[in-house]
Amino acid sequence: MNKVRLDAFQNTWYKPGKSFAIRILWYYMNLLFLNSGWLPSSAIKVHILRLFGAKIGKGVIMKPYVNIKYPWHLHIGNHCWIGENVWIDNLTSVHIGNHVCISQGAMLLTGNHNYKDPAFGLIIGKITLEDGVWIGAQSCVCPGVTCNQESVLSVQSVANTDLLAGSIYQGNPAVIKKMRDINIQQ
């Protein structure tokens, strides 16, 4: 039987995409401006993210205490809402489409560990949230998951497989509950 050997862990194959100095600078900028409550301006937060390589569209709202691992791996479309205490742990690409809502305390996790590996090796997978997706409060989207257009992940649910377009998912693991019926009002 293999025993866990965390002392054998190594992820030298992983390249975060920027120098150590840029990563340290980002750590403090994130801490001061995004992952804090003193700066209410979404425009300033978006500007700072763009300075560090994030691709962000227009009309993006970012609430206080958002935590973003690496902005250079982040793409956010137009008119998105990022709620309080959202954690985007993007070791690799996170692509967020247009009109996406990520509610309070939600987590987008692009990294995990291989439980079959005694050294607990790092596993990464990109996340895609297509147009019109809603990630409910305190929900989690796991590495490699695509939430297809207009899908919903309900409060405190865990998406570890792709979500079908126009469907509402709930639970851990998230399972489809019903189709989303969007009532368009004029």
186 residues of the chain, pLDDT tens digit each = 669 898 899 889 999 999 999 999 999 999 999 999 998 899 999 999 999 999 999 999 999 999 999 999 999 999 999 999 999 999 999 999 999 999 999 999 999 999 999 999 999 999 999 999 999 999 999 999 999 999 999 999 999 999 999 999 999 999 999 999 877 665
What pTM does this model have? 0.93
Kindly report the CATH class assigned to 19-178.
Answer: mainly beta
Q: Alpha-carbon distance 171 to 106, whole Å?
A: 14
The token pair that represents 22 in the structure block: 């840029």
Domain boundaries defined on the chain: 19-178
